[in-house]
Amino acid sequence: MASEITCVQGDITVEQVDAIVNAANSSLLGGGGVDGAIHRAAGPRLLQACRELRRTRLPDGLPVGDAVATEAFDLPSRWVIHTVGPNRHAGQTDPALLRSCFTRSLEVAADLHARSIAFPAISAGVYGWDAEEVARIAWSAVTGADMELEEIRFVLFSERLQLAFERARPSSGAK
């Protein structure tokens, strides 16, 4: 488990961490919300890197619950870890898929030797998951992970999401 787990309200694209997590769609070619903001801030080379992933390793796209990394290009972080959250509106209601987004992202971060990572509230936007449920699953996934990260940060774009994550915070071990 990380030595420090925090929640902040803010813009994930300006976070000074080794890796930020992108709540991507399976095409990896950009979209709205967090995905669009990350692509805009990273610049056009991120889209080129994602197209290369699609051409080589992921011709059918990134599966729901999985994660893959690219460079971060114009972002202050070193890497972007792309993960595809389940879409409740499309019938993807299994909490294990959402948990996998967090755990797979942590595994990818460990493979990169990242020391710090920032997560958004994966699937809590247009994918229709309840913020409270996302927060509970996210906290459970990161506090249950056996990873040697110095810091895990939840970066939440609204006060509503930040409050949901604060309410879901385990009573011990996290700051």
Taking the C-alpha atoms of 54, 78, 170 and 86 in order, what is their torsion angle to the nearest 10 degrees? -10
Can you tell me the distance from the alpha carbon of 96 to that of 76, in angstroms, rounded to the nearest whole number? 31
Can you tell me the distance from the alpha carbon of 28 to that of 156, in angstroms, rounded to the nearest whole number? 21
Among 149, 131, 144, which Cα is nearest to 170's?
Answer: 144
Active site residue 111: no
- H or E element, residue 102: helix 95-111
Q: Which among 11, 18, 35, 94 is annotated as catalytic?
A: 35
Coil, strand or helix: which one is 123? Answer: coil
Q: Could you say which DSSP state residue 145 is in?
A: -
- Residues with catalytic function: 35
